[in-house]
Amino acid sequence: MFTTQSISVLEEALHFAANQQKVISSNIANVDTPDYKEKSVSFQNVLQTAQSNSNEFQAKQTNERHLAFPLPHSHSLGLQERVQQYNHNGNSVDIDKQMSKMAENQLYHQALVDRISSNFQSLETAIKGSR
Amino acid sequence: MFDSMNVSSSALTMQRLRMDVASSNIANADTTRAELVNGEWQPYQRKMVVQQSQSFSSHLNRAKEQLNEGVVATGIVNDQTPSSLIYDPTHPDANDLGYVAKPNVDIAREMVDMTSATRSYEANVTALQASKNMLMKSLEIGR
């Protein structure tokens, strides 16, 4: 069913938002910890899993010795450590960027919750009828 | 989701400790009798907080993708810079030459540290509030 499918997609996105919130909080928590490097959640692995599911990205193998595109099967969200250094103590957290990312993430999360709620409302309308 | 709140609250504890240590340094900026070593009074030594991220010591967590990166104070150490000598022969703790060893506390530095701790505390409160709001919003699904 269309609605239930989009609910599960939205749920995945909610997981992403929660994960991102966690990473941003830990960046803010470690804003003055020596040698801490800023972390960020990346969507890359999720995208790759989606591609591997849709069978769109197959390598054309004309010889059995050709290598297929290796696609990871993990659903985990990748974490990147940035290499730039900003501070004398080896810390690379940019607090302003983290705060704005957090605000953005909050809005994103609110939008997702709003969409899920309206999906459930549509289901309810379908079940009860428009009484 | 609760993890991000735990991370922020660990940072709140950390900043509060930094504030306590800065207060102690300012309070003892003129203390010439902090501890008795071999029958002689030693001036107060400036204290510093050593902090590190929580997962630094627990690589197992990282392996499990359980990124619980709070911050933790691993200790409070003494600043080893020598105490400054002030000429004041009338002081009860003055040595034979009339010099008094004053604590190595720099008030300006402590004030800066205190301001920095306050700002970090505020940032972490904001982060905690954001996590809480997200949690509350999630609870509204299906209402």
**Neighbour-count burial for A77-109, b at 16+ CB within 10 Å, e otherwise:** beeeeeeeeeeeeebbbbeeebbebbeebbebb
Q: Are B70 and B58 in contact (CB under 8 A)?
A: no
| DSSP code at position A77 | P
Side-chain-side CA neighbours of A116 within 13 Å: the count stands at 21
Closest CB to B7: pick one of A26, A34, A109. Answer: A26
What residues of chain A lie within 8 A of the CB of B1, using their CB?
18, 21-22
What residues of chain A lie within 8 A of the CB of B126, using their CB?
99, 102
Tokens (6 digits) for A102: 């957090």
ipTM: 0.79
Intervals of chain B under pLDDT 50: 64
What residues of chain B lie within 8 A of the CB of A14, using their CB?
138
pLDDT in tens, B44-73: 999 999 988 876 555 555 554 555 678 888
Closest CB to B10: pick one of A29, A34, A106. Answer: A29
Measure the CA–CA gap between A57 and A78, rounded to whole angstroms: 20
Least confident of A3-17, A39-53, A92-106, B107-121: A39-53
Measure the CA–CA gap between B104 and B28, rounded to whole angstroms: 10
What is the separation, in whole angstroms, between the first and last Cα of chain A?
23
Q: Are B52 and B72 in contact (CB under 8 A)?
A: yes
Name residues 28-47 of chain B within 8 A of A (Cβ).
none
- Using the beta-carbon criterion (under 8 Å), do A34 and B51 form an inter-chain contact? yes
pLDDT of residue B113: 94
Task: Enumerate residues 6+ apart whose C-beta is below 8 A from B142.
Answer: A117, A120
- Using the beta-carbon criterion (under 8 Å), do A21 and B1 form an inter-chain contact? yes
Closest CB to B7: pick one of A14, A25, A105. Answer: A25
Name residues 76-95 of chain B within 8 A of A (Cβ).
none
User: Could you give the angle at the alpha carbon of A24 between the alpha carbons of A23 and A29, nearest 5°?
Assistant: 95
pLDDT in tens, A32-82: 888 888 888 876 555 656 656 655 556 777 888 887 765 544 444 556 665
- Inform me whether the pLDDT recorded for A1 exceeds 60: no
Which residues of A lie inside 8 Å of B (Cβ-Cβ)?
14, 17-18, 21-26, 28-34, 36, 39, 76, 79, 95, 99, 102-103, 105-106, 109-110, 113, 116-117, 120
pLDDT in tens, A112-127: 999 999 999 888 888 9
B3–A contact, CB cutoff 8 A: yes
